[in-house]
Amino acid sequence: MPVDRLQALDPLLANELMQINHQLEQLSTQNSAGTDLRFQTDSHQHQMYINRDPFGCNLTEKRRLMSAQADIIEIIRTIPGFETFLGRKSFVELESAAKYGPVIVVNCSRYRSDVLIILKQNSPVLIHLVEGFYGQVETLVQQLTEARSDIKTSPKRYNHVLWATLKDLWDLIVLPVVTKLRELHIPEMSRIFWCPTSILSTLPLHAAGPILPGTKKFLPDLYISSYTPTLTALIDAFNTTKSPSQLPHLLVAGQYDRSLPRTKEEIHEILQYQKDIPTTSVEGLTATKEALEKALVDHQWLHIASHGTLIPGKPFNSYFSLAGSSHFTLLDIIRLNLPNATFAFLSACHTAEQSLGSVHNEVIHLAAAMQFCGFRSVVGTMWEMADIDGPEMVKDFYSHLFKNVSQCNEVGAQARALAEATKKMRGRKGVTLERWVNFVHIGA
């Protein structure tokens, strides 16, 4: 929760609240990963989960801190203009999420499923989805996940399943939405924001299509899609985006690994723009967790090129690989305090992916963590990224973004740059469907 307004009015009260929030956050995350104990008996391997707080000391401390937090919030709410501080947002506040384009919330439930289109200064529009929608989405998720797991042995089968999934998403959800957007006179190639829920958050709504049978036109040919995990996350991203005229400082981090032969080339493409914006790089052996965390404090933009690893069922352990055997985990990202962060390009595998073992109503993946800890705009990947795509994607993305450097920090600049880079990727010979569908934009 941003406390900028409170900080300006009462710094002592704001600092006291932030200190308690920080203590609560540390208490909540220090044991999040837990401890695994593996032992061998005869021919069987056993695994136990060890609780690091068997006597409930953390729970007692958590209750004390939450009570103190509640007392401070009560005091803050007596200040004029802060009556609803950390309370439920009014609809007027929530509809500001549609400031730069309609927000399409897709409620996916066993009981009933609907699309709710949030519009700027207009009543929301409801589209009731077909009966049995949840079951159909379950089937799509299962089929795509199973095909994805066999992609190395059956790439043609995966490509067929992905085509079918995109077509079903178009028919089930996106076509009714596009039809309504046209009725509402939302201009083509403007921005739209997807806010999917439940298991639907694992599927590539941004690439649905083809629009017409036998064509190669997809949703990106109609609108520029971004995602947001919540309406509040999007509102905060809009409200705290830096001034468009303020040049960002870019930090480039790259892991050099035999399995990532194109990383050097990718970083070289970015460093060509040092003459346009201030740039720092941590590469190869210097790209350690400590170096990255230290440098991030003084930079607004981050481009990281490395291996991304998703840990099913334990999202806090998901990580970027860095120099040697060091890891930059999702938990490390959440613990960072980066008030100046603006944009992150996560050129790695699985950075915006949710596994079947994750809690789908809580959007916990590396890209969402980046947004929650301060980055207002994030580019990520839905699954494994082809190393060959790094240099070309980066070249097209940043060349478009820096056509007018003074506007590169504007809201939507990164989303439009990704749309342009993806369009060029689609036009290159030999690029498979899954390679361009992979890239997504999250946030402002």
395-399: list long-range contacts, CB under 8 Å, 24+ apart: 395/269, 396/420, 396/421, 396/424, 396/425, 397/345, 397/421, 398/269, 398/270, 398/273
Count of other CB atoms within 10 angstroms of residue 45: 9
Report strand pairing: 191-196 vs 103-107: parallel
Distances (CA, A) of 65 to 17, 28, 397: 10, 12, 45
Count of other CB atoms within 10 angstroms of residue 250: 24
pLDDT for res 37: 43
* SS3 category, 378: strand
Q: Which residue has the tokens 């639907």?
A: 200
Identify whether the C-beta of residue 440 lies closer than 8 Å to the C-beta of residue 227.
yes
pLDDT for res 352: 57
Whether the predicted model's global pTM rises above the 0.85 cut = no
pLDDT for res 81: 84
For the stretch 313-354, pLDDT in tens is 676 777 888 887 788 887 787 777 676 788 999 887 666 555
User: Which of 417, 389, 384, 93 is closest to 226 using CA atoms?
Assistant: 417
Strand runs (DSSP E) across 243-340, as ranges? 250-254, 279-283, 301-305, 308-309, 319-321, 327-329
- As a whole number of angstroms, the distance between CA 89 and CA 234 comes to 13
- As a whole number of angstroms, the distance between CA 44 and CA 167 comes to 45
Strand-pair partners of 191: 224
Alpha helices in 39-103 (DSSP H): 57-76, 91-94
Q: pLDDT tens digits, the chain, 444 residues: what are they?
A: 567 778 888 889 999 998 998 888 777 766 554 544 444 445 555 454 455 666 678 888 899 999 999 999 999 999 988 888 888 888 888 999 999 999 999 999 999 999 999 999 889 999 999 999 999 999 999 999 888 888 877 888 989 999 999 999 999 999 999 999 999 999 999 999 999 998 888 899 999 999 988 888 999 999 999 999 889 889 888 876 555 557 888 998 888 877 777 888 888 888 888 888 888 888 888 888 888 888 888 888 999 888 877 776 676 777 888 887 788 887 787 777 676 788 999 887 666 555 555 545 555 667 777 776 778 899 998 888 787 888 899 999 999 999 888 888 889 999 999 999 999 999 998 899 989 999 999 999
Token couple for 260: 């990532």
pLDDT for res 355: 54
Identify whether the C-beta of residue 102 lies closer than 8 Å to the C-beta of residue 193.
yes
Q: Which residues of 399-436 are buried (b: 16+ CB within 10 A; e: fewer)?
A: bbbbeeeeebbbbbbbbbbbbbbbebbbeeeebebbbb
Q: Which residue has the tokens 């969402």?
A: 368
Assign a CATH topology to domain 241-443: Rossmann fold (3.40.50)
- As a whole number of angstroms, the distance between CA 357 and CA 311 comes to 9
